[in-house]
Chain A
């Protein structure tokens, strides 16, 4: 096998292709690693995902973890999972049903079995199926020993015991040894899918540089898992997936949505020549944006961990006033707190990128679960007439593109811009064809320096007011949250002026529709049904549409990344269809917008279960809609 060039150790190398288990070629697999929240499942999943991506496959991932950092061991609500979908074909989602479930304990099995397809593979840590854990998971009998799993291919492996025995001469505490068992499981899965564990061995070496003991222990556990598959010959088959031929040629990396947001901001700062400032307060699932940018000091990035969400956005507004490219990152509850300050940025007409990594609401809601229910909040959730452009990313790597785009719009139009992502794409990852600064759209920044004829609310052709850095001689001026007199920027309570300023602010944002791509239709430009989506549902809808078409039915598809303003052809696109189906992770928010904007009827497909929409459910809805008479 090509991708199995080498293990680090020579003794391992000789054995790598040994064993007599037949290798079956397949083209698409979804695996879920599941265990206690302290079992290292997120790490295990991320390692597997990086390795398969680097082997040239298209990949989509979805971590799913509880809000509690360490929920009580063995309990159902403490289960943490990481799902990886990899394929020779284009991957749009992290996978709908799973083919392989790695269950590190009974609770992990119980929680995840419903998503495993019939005849799917279960790799279970047999050692964890003891009386106590079975009780915690509400199993009356051991599912590995009764008939309850007869629809699946079950491999009960003594993962803990085998790990202990592989590490017994290392003189490490039992606690440390047992912690290595996730690498054993990962080793088994690498073997099963014919992937050399080199990537992870390298990672272990880098990660544990300072503790050679841990390098040895984790590497050994990983290799032990790999050889377990090979030597025990308990598996009927191994599998091999050919590298994808769909992905365009180029240099790739794996990226998740939060990292992509951070990189999008750094790229926008670099291309605009501005210093980047992030004011942020930690919140799940957006904190990783703060973490990532905090590491980028050598790129001149200034990050400020504020005392609260309000200070997060307020410092960003201050930095923007001072001439930085400013951003604030948060999730729903934080967004609520930032609302008043967004209004200030609107009336002060200062550029600002606001990233809302949506999660289940209302209130604290479902901190670690995904939802798309902050759309109307983003568009309307402020006092007064307060227009703000709203963009949404469709996938982990699209978070880069849309964040960069938000910065471009913010600077050009002197306005705050909201970017909506969500827990699904923020934590999910996929291969990204790396972009270079030179390939990205230009971002031109002109700070006003000429005092001649200057007024703070003069406007350019895009209705943007001048951006002046404090420190510029002769341009001293005041701005603020009170209504401004047109052009002069003086405080004004004049009724006519307020009407004018309200219109100008609205027009400025509406004009952005001339500056963004038109809505593209995938499929026929007219017909019976168009499916319209927005944001992170893109992949699931694309899959569903493909599947329906494969059955010989006609359906068109369009996906919105610009929610306010809409692309200018949106109404015309939609009018050409008899039915408009809108699947979304809320109770019909885009649907409301389309109805009110274009007076068109829509059919809602809504799901708010803290999980992404899946293609089979959308597929059924499409079919049902096509069959139903008007």
Chain B
């Protein structure tokens, strides 16, 4: 199971134990390197035997990931990683199943599987490498590219509007939804650990920089000078505060409208600020739309973490109940209940 356990029978691993012997073929400077490193650094802390880890991927830069992991891995076809991973997990719930995917693979061609995997709550960890561009096919706009973005396939600017992966995951009924940034290694590791610990589908969107086709897409969130005023770190039970001097807070005005208040102007205090509650689906919906609203900071961290039975657990229960401890005979099944002798 992917929940963290402290079984002493688990060997002591280091990050290196999870690195395969394959040459890594991402472009120099690609954000994927960081995600790979954070995953490899996190795994030794999860208490999962190496042989029980399975990394599944579809197609795209992100999806080469399994080749670089010295675990079980399956590099499948475009968009289908989540369906294949669901099959693996349902077949053997003891495995820790991970999917590395991209914005095209997960949200465009694989959008249907994304919705339904979240809805079913199969215990899979989804790592979405969101670089807001098609990298492997060399620079077409993706479902998360900005409106108006000029790309190979939108020379005059894309006339499509982007999908918000976190809002989509919420709408699909996801039970664990989080966001991290490739440049923030420590926080990314923390989010990987949280994802792994969640029983059910965990969805972690990672802002990932494509140095070749969409360089700097997340600069305002990742650069030291601008980061603090543009990013808010979500922490359960803590007030929603951000800013260089921790002097800005989020407050709800006129019902459901989030606004930024200045905590240093004497008019508002930390007591007026919203407290983050990662069990609240309603709050998660409000926070998920922050990135779409000018003036509001981009949230990273855990938007939502709720408990619900996993798909495979309920299936095993149904099977157990059906068997009911009694021996069954396939020969009787073949004979059916209406026979005659000739």
> In residues 141-159 of chain B, which contact A (Cβ within 8 Å)?
none
**Separation of A475 and B336 alpha carbons in the complex (Å):** 42
**Separation of A323 and B90 alpha carbons in the complex (Å):** 11
Complex: chain A residue closest to B67, CB-CB: A478
Contacting pair A480 B328 (CB below 8 A): no
Whole-angstrom distance from the CB of A481 to the nearest CB of chain B? 5
Whole-angstrom distance from the CB of B19 to the nearest CB of chain A? 12
Contacting pair A251 B87 (CB below 8 A): no
List chain B residues, Cβ under 8 A from A302.
90-91, 315, 319
Complex: chain B residue closest to A206, CB-CB: B337
Binds A, one of B68-76, B205-213, B218-226, B299-307: B68-76
Contacting pair B342 A315 (CB below 8 A): no
Whole-angstrom distance from the CB of A49 to the nearest CB of chain B? 11
Name A's interface SS: mixed
Residue in A199, A250, A307, A344 whose CB lies within 8 Å of B342: A250
Contacting pair B340 A314 (CB below 8 A): no
Also in contact, A323 and B91, with CB within 8 A (given A251-B341, A302-B319): yes
Contacting pair A267 B115 (CB below 8 A): no
List chain A residues, Cβ under 8 A from B336.
253, 255, 434
CB of B8 within 8 A of chain A?
no
List chain A residues, Cβ under 8 A from B328.
298-299
CB of B86 within 8 A of chain A?
yes
Also in contact, A277 and B90, with CB within 8 A (given A302-B315, A307-B112, A480-B66): yes
Interface 1/0 per residue, B102-115 and A, CB below 8 Å? 00000000001101
Binds B, one of A151-159, A464-472, A539-547: A464-472
Contacting pair A298 B342 (CB below 8 A): no
> In residues 39-61 of chain B, which contact A (Cβ within 8 Å)?
49-54, 56, 59
CB of A244 within 8 A of chain B?
yes
Contacting pair A321 B88 (CB below 8 A): yes
Contacting pair A54 B87 (CB below 8 A): no
Residue in B49, B83, B115 whose CB lies within 8 Å of A473: B49
List chain B residues, Cβ under 8 A from A172.
none
Whole-angstrom distance from the CB of B36 to the nearest CB of chain A? 14
Complex: chain B residue closest to A271, CB-CB: B330
Residue in A263, A308, A481 whose CB lies within 8 Å of B76: A481
- State the interface size on chain A (CB cutoff 8 A): 73
Contacting pair A315 B86 (CB below 8 A): yes
Contacting pair A478 B91 (CB below 8 A): no
Interface 1/0 per residue, B261-289 and A, CB below 8 Å? 00000000000000000000000000000
Whole-angstrom distance from the CB of B318 to the nearest CB of chain A? 6
List chain B residues, Cβ under 8 A from A316.
87
Whole-angstrom distance from the CB of A527 to the nearest CB of chain B? 35
**Separation of A308 and B85 alpha carbons in the complex (Å):** 15
Please indicate which of the listed interface residues B20, B74, B85 has the most CB atoms of chain A within 10 Å of its own CB. Answer: B74
CB of B256 within 8 A of chain A?
no
Contacting pair A476 B83 (CB below 8 A): no
Please indicate which of the listed interface residues A53, A56, A252, A307 has the most CB atoms of chain B within 10 Å of its own CB. Answer: A307
**Separation of A218 and B64 alpha carbons in the complex (Å):** 63
**Separation of A490 and B25 alpha carbons in the complex (Å):** 14
List chain A residues, Cβ under 8 A from B181.
none
> In residues 102-137 of chain A, which contact B (Cβ within 8 Å)?
none
Whole-angstrom distance from the CB of A487 to the nearest CB of chain B? 15
CB of A444 within 8 A of chain B?
no
CB of B12 within 8 A of chain A?
no
Can you name 7 A-B pairs with beta carbons within 8 Å?
A250-B341, A277-B91, A299-B330, A304-B87, A311-B112, A340-B77, A480-B75
Interface residues of A (CB under 8 A from B): 50, 53-56, 199, 243-244, 247-255, 263, 266-267, 270, 275, 277, 279, 296-300, 302, 304, 306-308, 310-311, 314-324, 326, 340-341, 343-344, 348, 434-437, 469-482, 490-491
7 closest Cβ contacts across the A-B interface? A318-B87, A480-B75, A314-B83, A315-B87, A322-B91, A297-B322, A478-B73
Interface residues of B (CB under 8 A from A): 20, 22, 49-54, 56, 59, 66-67, 69-77, 80, 83-92, 94-95, 112-113, 115-116, 315, 318-319, 322-324, 328, 330-331, 333-336, 338-342
| New A-B contacts (18) at CB < 8 Å, excluding given A320-B87, A478-B72 | A253-B339, A266-B330, A279-B83, A302-B315, A307-B112, A311-B83, A311-B112, A311-B116, A315-B86, A315-B90, A317-B87, A319-B88, A322-B54, A343-B77, A434-B335, A436-B334, A470-B95, A478-B66
